[in-house]
Amino acid sequence: MSARLWLRGVSHRYLEAADPALSDLSLRVEPGELVAFLGPSGCGKTTALKIIAGLVRPESGDVLVDGRSVLGVPPERRGAAMVFQKPLLFPHMSVEENVGFGLRMRGVPRDDAGRRVREALRRVHMDGFIARPPDQLSGGQQQRVALARALVTEPRLLLLDEPLSALDAGLRAEMRTLVRDLQLEGGYTTVFVTHDQEEAVVLADRIALLFDGGLRMYDRPEAFYERPASRRVAEFFGAVNFIRGRAANGAVETPLGRLRIARTAPPGNVTLTIRPEAVRLDPADGGGENSFPARVTETAYLGTRIACSLDAAGVELRVSLPPHARLRKGDRVIARLPAGSLWALQD
């Protein structure tokens, strides 16, 4: 049965470190949910995972599983299984022996252990490699075995510390699908650490974005694109369009004119952001709400899309267009910013 995880005010500082690795981290992970801890190197995401696993004891705060503190519970009794960036397989053991090691340590009867090992290997599509030693496996195959070793213990918490980062792009995409399928099939409460934004978006039910040891936003993946909590969050998720203005009465006065926004912002100074793919280019004689003239300053063909830069009243805007778009530097266009795609960030 999957567990409910609660981090409550967790803080930690490593010896001689100037800044804390984690500062007052609080969040809940619901049973069966997959949450990605996302952020740049050094943001505290792996420290948080090790604290959940019991490998690091926080300086303050608490870790609760189904409402009970586990700070005094040793790692092997927390009902958690951890998969690291490197598979860390025993080189002198076969695939079968590696996967069954944890069961042997728990005293699981041989017949039961053998059945569970074979089932775990079947689930990760490695049942045909049961007698192989690790040095005869590819990197992706080794990571599948590491996953099977974690799953065979039937964990209540599955903790994954950048397990796909060492794989090439094609194999990483394949393994993402496998991880998500296994998580959904088993209903594991899962925390997945990654620095890869795309990986977090593809895998996670919710994303916990950390900067400098602090939680900056915790929400569903689409929220990070549509309603980021701050400019820094928006920039981390690839936002490049920022327009300064002053909000009042459901609109924002900007250098581009009065722009209506669908979600009302409190009166005062704001910064509007809009994704490049949401900007619309209308015919030169077009117009309408949130429209204004602009000049094309740059275009770049990128195969699946055209990246275009505009200048409008001194404001630079980036636009993502279909590959068949026909625009050249110097062209005059009418740009439109749909009200539903504009999001106001508080200054």
Asked, for residue 135, whether it belongs to a domain, the answer is yes
Question: Hey, is 32 helix, strand or coil?
Answer: coil
E strand segments, the chain: 5-12, 22-29, 34-38, 60-65, 68-69, 80-83, 157-161, 189-194, 206-211, 214-219, 242-248, 251-254, 257-260, 268-273, 280-282, 291-301, 306-312, 315-321, 332-336, 343-346
Q: Does 304 lie in the same domain as 261?
A: yes
Question: Hey, is 115 helix, strand or coil?
Answer: helix
pLDDT for position 347: 63
Q: Does 213 lie in the same domain as 261?
A: no
Q: In the chain, how many domains are there?
A: 2
pLDDT for position 338: 94
Asked if 276 and 324 touch (Cβ cutoff 8 Å), the reply is no
Q: Does 43 lie in the same domain as 111?
A: yes
- Distance separating alpha carbons of residues 116 and 132, to the nearest angstrom: 18
Write out the chain's pLDDT in tens, 347 residues.
Answer: 689 999 999 999 998 778 899 999 999 999 999 999 999 999 999 999 999 999 999 999 999 999 999 999 999 899 999 999 888 899 999 999 999 998 888 888 888 988 999 999 998 989 889 999 999 998 889 999 999 999 998 899 999 999 888 788 888 888 888 889 889 988 999 999 999 999 999 999 999 999 999 999 999 999 999 899 999 999 999 999 999 999 998 899 999 999 999 988 889 999 999 999 999 997 665 668 999 999 999 999 999 999 999 999 999 999 999 998 889 999 999 999 999 999 999 76
CATH of the domain at 298: 2.40.50.100
